[in-house]
Structure 1
Amino acid sequence: MHCIKKVFWPTFLFTLVLITISAGVSLGSAPIPVVTVWKIVANHLHADSFAADWSQGRDSIVWDVRFPRVLLGGLVGAGLALTGAVLQPATRNPLADPHLLGVSSGAAFGAIIALLHTGMVFGLFTVPLFAFAGALMATALVPLVAGARRGMQADRLVLSGVIVAFFFTALGNLLVFLGDPRATQTVMFWMLGGLGLAQWQHLLYPALVLFAALVYLLPNVQPLNAMAMGDETATTLGVNVARFRLILFVVAALVTGTMVAFSGAIGFVGLMVPHMVRAMVGSDNARVLPMSALVGGLVLILADLVARLAVAPEDMPIGIVTGIVGCVAFVWIMRKDSAR
């Protein structure tokens, strides 16, 4: 029975990933058959794998537009869900998510500066670079606001993150108010999240950051499990709580800042996905972290698909979809906690 489970789950998850990616690339305002999609992908990976019985327009839609968009959605969803799965046990707060540290607000502030006030001084990378700089600025401010002596306590870091988030949100709103009204629509779309600007050259950075985060976090799941039981228990088990929590917050901020820099501010994925995963696999972070990354990627690809189809041929900001679903998840989490 155990051997069957070991074979079933990887096969099931691989099939689910394949179906989700196929749907994300195939469906849209101009539907393309799944068989044609994978023929086009195969031809780009290995020239002349199949006879090209499709138009150049379909080739461009699949390879230049939808496929990088789906992959970016998978990476961003994985990163945000992984961050939520780390922050919730690290802070012992079931409502913690990647926006907790003010990182998303800092990234939005940086992006607004680029979109409204500096212009595209670094070409296509201007908005991601400015957004990432804003995220790093917010990350640096959180421990400063928390204070040096007790700054690594979970409750102080959470409160400091909320303060920093409100501060950068206010600054961002001020810049929108003072900026060119004609560019406001672009700014609002970015602040609500979207994957429409995805390009192949953008994918390397979120992929590397996500990989590095997993390489650090997966060997350190036992200290994270200990922190979920409380600081005193973790200290008794030999965990340097203040130092480890600081490292976790820096990793979370780095991942969130990178993802938000390329996708805009997408809410609720990091909040609801870890709870969904724990309901499926339990609370052991050795399973929760990789499963959260996988499910988060699938959820965001599907959310983006809904956003593209809902008002086709226009693109709805993906943050609207995740916000609606996330609100339902938020109510479910609160009722679940109150029933205990």
Structure 2
Amino acid sequence: MPPDRPRSARFVMVVVASLAILSAIAFMTIGAKGPWSFILAHRGMRLAALVTVAYAIALSTVLFQTLTGNRILTPAVMGFDALFLLLQTSLVAALGGAGAGAIDPRLLFSVECLAMVGLSGLLFRLLFRGEGRNLPLVVLSGLLFGALFRSLSSFLQRIMDPNDFLVLQGRTFASFNVVDPALIGVAALLAVAATVIVLPRLAELDVLVLGRDRATGLGVDTARLSAIVFAVVAVLVSASTALVGPTTFFGLLVANLAYLLIPSAKHAEVLPVAIGLAIVTLVGGQMLLERLLGFGTALSIVIDFVGGVTFLLILFRSGRR
């Protein structure tokens, strides 16, 4: 009943937060051998990276789904990951593997973010102008842009030196094992900045869920809000991909689990649960693979498989309605 829903939402948030904390503690302590000063520094850096990536992906996915008004769309489906791949491929093709590796990671990260935001602005003007959001057009345009970016990347990879191609593979394949420490602080600052921008607009985002026309009638500047959210999503996606590489279905998985646990349109409830689930999945999953399975498989492969199955189930469920 309505009086019990807020209490239930708080209970879910507490449980998810507790699981996230336990996952972090287990990641830091299970199988720890040697001086704690080294263990805390080494594992702490990786934990910070995993938490930052989980936070960025969960936040960007929920925001993007609110913007598009659909829960099966993610920034990856819209081609943002393919755009990142094209940027990395173009860089290695132009400068070579050695030249690309010599660039300051923080400078490269900044350039990638600027490029992502600039091109996201172009996508925004193409997809959200005029009479409003045309969902089939959004999906089709996103798939076409993604296919175009991947085709260009594939062409450059075919004419690339084999040694440079190996370097490129290491830069674009999602890996939660090796993280550049120089980028963790920058990505965390971007995540904090995104939070500062989004928090005052949670109420407007709640209204935007009702539809663009209704939100406009209720006094929300939907054009300005959509532009801000789109830019925030682009920055968050670039931050997460720069740290670990593209993760296609991870955001879709944690976002829809959050919607399932919190049947509410309030972002103040959905976002914490989605972020907590993302932390549990990444940190807990990485801990299980490292400590119990001995790196039997890559976490990104497991996540993409489960996320892909979730994506298909959502499509089938939507088609039956």
- Please list, as runs of the form range in 1=range in 2, the aligned pairs for 1:3-152 lying within 5 A after superposition: 12-26=15-29, 31-32=31-32, 54-55=34-35, 59-60=37-38, 62-115=39-92, 117-118=94-95, 119=99, 120-125=101-106, 128-129=109-110, 131-143=112-124, 145-146=126-127, 149-150=129-130
- 1:193 to partner: Cα distance: 0.7
Counterpart of 2:203? 222
Q: Which amino acid aligns with 2:44?
A: F
String of CA shifts for 1:306-333, please: whole Å, max 9, x gaps.
554687468x544312111102211332
Among 241, 250, 254, the residue aligned to 2:235 = 254
Among 182, 185, 195, the residue aligned to 1:204 = 185
Q: Structure 2 length as normaliser, TM-score?
A: 0.82
Counterpart of 2:147? 166
| 69 and 114 in structure 1: CA distance in 2 versus 1, 3 angstrom threshold | farther
Q: Distance in 2 between matches of 1:196 and 1:115?
A: 22
Q: Which amino acid aligns with 1:113?
A: S
Q: Distance in 2 between matches of 1:19 and 1:157?
A: 39
Q: Distance in 2 between matches of 1:259 and 1:154?
A: 28
Q: Which amino acid aligns with 1:211?
A: V
- Please list, as runs of the form range in 1=range in 2, the aligned pairs for 1:233-312 lying within 5 A after superposition: 233-283=214-264, 284-306=266-288, 308=290, 312=294
- 1:152 to partner: Cα distance: 6.1
* Structure number with higher relative contact order (C-alpha < 8 Å, ≥ 6 residues apart): 2
Q: Distance in 1 between matches of 2:292 and 2:173?
A: 16
Contact 2:12-2:273 at 8 Å conserved across structures: no
Q: Structure 1 length as normaliser, TM-score?
A: 0.78
SS in structure 1 at match of 2:176: coil
- 1:186 to partner: Cα distance: 4.3
Gaps of 5+ in 1: 34-53
Contact 2:64-2:74 at 8 Å conserved across structures: yes
| 16 and 227 in structure 1: CA distance in 2 versus 1, 3 angstrom threshold | same
Name which of structure 1's ranges 136-145 and 5-14 shifts more when overlaid on structure 2. Answer: 5-14
Contact 1:306-1:321 at 8 Å conserved across structures: no
String of CA shifts for 1:145-175, please: whole Å, max 9, x gaps.
448x529635345543333322221222122
Contact 1:69-1:198 at 8 Å conserved across structures: yes
Q: Distance in 2 between matches of 1:110 and 1:244?
A: 27
Q: What is the RMSD computed on CA atoms of the aligned residues?
A: 3.2
| 124 and 241 in structure 1: CA distance in 2 versus 1, 3 angstrom threshold | closer
- 1:121 to partner: Cα distance: 3.1
Counterpart of 1:187? 168
Q: Distance in 2 between matches of 1:151 and 1:107?
A: 30
Q: Distance in 2 between matches of 1:302 and 1:112?
A: 32
Contact 2:259-2:270 at 8 Å conserved across structures: yes
Gaps of 5+ in 2: none
Contact 1:17-1:298 at 8 Å conserved across structures: yes
- 1:260 to partner: Cα distance: 1.0
| 174 and 300 in structure 1: CA distance in 2 versus 1, 3 angstrom threshold | same
- 1:259 to partner: Cα distance: 1.4
String of CA shifts for 1:10-66, please: whole Å, max 9, x gaps.
764453223211333345xxx326xxxxxxxxxxxxxxxxxxxx35xx754x24433
SS in structure 2 at match of 1:203: helix
Q: Which amino acid aligns with 1:331?
A: L
Contact 2:113-2:238 at 8 Å conserved across structures: yes
State the aligned residue count: 312
| 150 and 329 in structure 1: CA distance in 2 versus 1, 3 angstrom threshold | same
Q: Distance in 2 between matches of 1:235 and 1:173?
A: 42
Percent identical pairs in the alignment equals 21
Q: Which amino acid aligns with 1:301?
A: V
- 1:116 to partner: Cα distance: 5.0
Contact 1:99-1:267 at 8 Å conserved across structures: yes
- 1:72 to partner: Cα distance: 0.7
Q: Distance in 2 between matches of 1:318 and 1:250?
A: 28
- 1:115 to partner: Cα distance: 4.3
Counterpart of 1:153? 133
